[in-house]
Structure 1
Amino acid sequence: MPDLWISNGHCGLGSYRSDLLDTYWQWEQDLLSMLGHGRRSPLSLERRKDWLDNQLKNESQIRFTVYDLSAATPVPAGFTVLGLDHTRQTAEYALLVAPKSRGKGLGRHATRLTVDYGFHVSGLHAISLRVLTPHASARAIYRDTGFREVGRLRSAGMWLGARCDEVVMDMVPADFVGPSMVSSYINSSPIQA
């Protein structure tokens, strides 16, 4: 059973794991994943392994494996990333939900949990993201979890062979859509400051 750092009963976040590299790579090769992340060509597993070695040493990112908690045993169902800017105490957010795990609300839960961690554990002042305008489901997830549209990069992306805008969204702690699972955990702990 994986160690979950934070969970809400539907979804849990645990460490990014090197033993799941092949699984992460397979999720990234899904066409919707490639479209949503602006990639136009598949990435080889060998190149992904080299990239992972560098990323696991990188202290400028917080990476979580997303787990579906609907079964008796947690099932890996995606990953989230907070790309940190230590100088500004901000981060850029990224989400990938595994193809077989889509449509269960895990994207919303994982986003909320990751943002909760970012604000209430890492002490971030703001979290931003960029999403292609045609990716309506991702935009809805982000709006529902408290992100606000703050701008557009015109013709900055590609969707199904056509140029499209990229929406810039952000969230500050006051926008957080709770409840905070971090605060709930701390408040229920027998050891409090």
Structure 2
Amino acid sequence: MWIATETCALGPYQPDLVETYWRWEQDPGLLVGYGRQSPQTLEARTEGMAAQLRGSNIRFTVYDTTKDTPVPVGVTTLLPDDSVRTAEYIVMLGPEARGRGLGTQATRLTLDYAFHITNLRMVWLKVLAPNTAGIHAYERAGFQRAGTLRQAGYWLGEVCDEVLMDALATDFTGPSAIKNLLRG
């Protein structure tokens, strides 16, 4: 694991976890949250992972560190646009990890990495408006609402808005796992 809090850590995106990642992605709660209507086969996911590992996106496996042995519970991703020093943020948590604050911690650790290692100036995301739990978790991690894409998504088969949120490096305050490592 690379960076951690007391309850959560980020580690490498691992090819040997492809079946676990795929299982999370097939969860109906995740399909609704992403607005995607169809599941994917394990074979297609395995092929997609090979391309992801060759790409320039920054991916982490999220670990729950509250147990004796850290357990993988999700993935965070930064999709950088190097020309403007920004990135889109995506998080995926398995059903067993939701509602425990791990998403907020993983998001905060990913922002810490984005601002203190990758030197991004801004990270943004889109979240479906009915996903109020997600919006609140993003706000606790440091994101702010930046706008709305009207009727841009689907939630439980109904058209809905997408909320745009962003986090700026200049606003990223509070404890930093990266800075603590360097001071260590």
CA contact (8 A) 2:59 2:75 kept: yes
The one-character-per-residue Cα deviations of 1:63-120 (angstroms, maximum 9, x if unpaired) are 0000000001000010100001111111000011110111211001000000000000
CA RMSD of aligned residues (A): 0.7
2:8 aligned with 1:11, yes or no? Answer: yes
- The residue number in structure 2 matching 1:191 is none
What TM-score do you get using the length of structure 1 for normalisation?
0.94
1:162 and 1:80 map into 2 onto residues whose CA distance is 27
One-letter identity of the residue aligned with 1:186? L
CA contact (8 A) 1:11 1:106 kept: yes
Q: Following superposition of structure 1 onto structure 2, how do residues 83-102 of structure 1 map, counting pairs within 5 Å?
A: 83-102=79-98
The secondary structure found in structure 2 opposite 1:182 is helix
Deviates more, 1:171-180 or 1:38-47: 171-180
Of residues 17, 38, 60, the one that matches 1:20 is 17
Residue 177 (structure 1) shift? 4.1
What TM-score do you get using the length of structure 2 for normalisation?
0.98
2:129 and 2:46 map into 1 onto residues whose CA distance is 31
CA contact (8 A) 1:145 1:177 kept: no
CA contact (8 A) 1:155 1:163 kept: yes
Of residues 180, 183, 186, the one that matches 2:182 is 186
2:26 and 2:157 map into 1 onto residues whose CA distance is 17
One-letter identity of the residue aligned with 1:100? E
- The residue number in structure 2 matching 1:144 is 140
1:103 and 1:160 map into 2 onto residues whose CA distance is 20
- The residue number in structure 2 matching 1:73 is 69
Of residues 38, 49, 54, the one that matches 2:51 is 54
Deviates more, 1:9-18 or 1:172-181: 172-181
Q: Percent identity?
A: 47
2:124 and 2:26 map into 1 onto residues whose CA distance is 24
